[in-house]
Amino acid sequence: MTVPQTLDHAAAGRSAPAPRGRLRSLDGLRGVASVVVLAHHSLLIVPSLAAPYYGEAVEGRVATLFVRTPLHLFWAGTEAVYLFFVLSGLVLTLASRSRAFTWSSYFPSRIVRLYLPVLAAILFAALMIAALPRGRGSPESMWMQRRPDHYSLTSMLIDGTLINGTTGAVSPLWSLKWEVLFSVLLPVFILGLRRVPASVQIPFYLALSLLGEVTGVSTLKYLPMFGVGVALAAIWDRIGSQTQRVQGAAAGFVWTAVVLVSLCLVMSYWALTAVLSYRRAEVVTLIPILLGVTGLVVAAGHAPVVRRLLSSRVFVFLGMISFSLYLVHEPIVVAIGSVVSRPAETVVFALPAGLLVAYAFYLVIERPSHLVSQRIRRAVQQSDSESQRASV
């Protein structure tokens, strides 16, 4: 599993017309995943923890503990990205069911919603790289060795387009390429959903993703992950109605089993690398990991205890700033990792610093961008309505 240049995919879809409690819990799940990504990049500054992401052996008891036990769930950045992809497919598809939804208003508002924060994050990263030194701290970390010490205008322009790929200067931006492509292709996914049952589409998308992994075709690997979420949206209400029939202790047992099995599946890659090569484990565990993150999404939306927990204020707050945290955390982590004396201490400082800066970024950049996106959507919808009345 290559090091993730890691995760807001689903954040832009918060207006989905699902029941309010379920949406809040999905926001909470997204918030948890964003903190996992922050922890992931913070711990990659530790040389022994970064090495396995570059195909090196796991050495030492501490590294084994963090890499090959359930502790890895707290910093499973790659798996968190996959969860974002599935969430995005689900939430955007649910949003398209709204009576007020129109494709003519969706496209411009969606592009603005994604690109304005991304462009601001690129400028933030450029300022951080220029203002704070890099190259000290933990040069032994393979991940730190690959962090650039400058950010050229050409690289910023490339990153700002997203579609043609990114330079890696702000590594989490890699996933936004697939978010943008999926957003453009959403009508195609929904059209396919109307013609093919979700029970057929989910295994089809899983198979496509595996084919992409085997052949090395990134488009085949990543876009079908969104498709899993699209297909999940088609049966979302049915899942809710079916699970409501299970009450009492039986419901607790079922949902506990779903969560535990899902977490085991999410952890399967790192567990199997103890007996398989990294490459073989990637192939063998891709579908189990996708099933695991899908199970967590279902539990977040429908398991009563999980839904209430993730709908609490702390987790909803994390969900609210998740896109901002995803966009701005890496320059902060690298800056802290360049100056602290002990690499393992980076996470201690990066967590509060990342959350604080992310909240400020949300207030100054993301929330205004969202408001602009909403105004554009309403303006286009009003224009469409006036055109329809004029034609009548």
pLDDT tens profile 310-369? 999 999 999 999 999 999 999 999 999 888 878 878 889 999 999 999 999 999 999 999
Q: Residue 22: which of 109, 90, 122, 112 has the closest Cα?
A: 90
Using CA atoms, how far residue 315 sits from 35, 183, 295, 308, in Å, is 10, 26, 19, 10
Q: Which of 1, 306, 244, 4 is closest to 143 using CA atoms?
A: 4
pLDDT tens-digit series, residues 57-69 = 999 999 999 999 9
- Asked whether the beta carbons of 32 and 41 are under 8 A apart, the reply is no
Per-residue model confidence (pLDDT) at position 1: 63
Of the candidates 306, 311, 302, the residue with the CA atom closest to the CA atom of residue 243: 302
| pLDDT at residue 250, rounded to an integer | 84
The first and second tokens of residue 111, run together, are 């592009």
- Looking at residue 14, its pLDDT comes to 38
Instruction: Give the pair of three-digit tokens for residue 66.
Output: 């963090």
| Cβ-contact 328, 358 below 8 angstroms | yes
Alpha helices in the chain (DSSP H): 20-43, 47-50, 61-68, 77-95, 103-131, 142-145, 153-161, 174-195, 198-215, 218-234, 236-243, 248-266, 268-272, 278-302, 304-310, 313-320, 322-337, 346-361, 367-391
Phi–psi pair at 217, nearest 5 degrees: -95, 105
Phi and psi torsions of 276, nearest 5°: -120, 160
Low-confidence residues of the chain: pLDDT under 50:
3-21
Residues 6 or more apart whose Cβ sits within 8 Å of residue 366: 117, 321, 323, 324
Q: What pLDDT, on a 0 to 100 scale, did the predictor assign at position 17?
A: 39
Type of residue numbered 37? V
d(CA 170, CA 217) in angstroms, rounded, equals: 22
Q: Tell me the HSE value of 272 on the side-chain side, using a 13 A CA sphere.
A: 20
What is the reported pLDDT for 377? 92
pLDDT of residue 19: 42
How far is Cα 14 from Cα 190, in angstroms, rounded to an integer? 18
Query: In sequence order, what are the residues at sequence separation of 6 or more whose Cβ sits closer than 8 angstroms to the Cβ of residue 270?
Result: 52, 67, 68, 72, 76
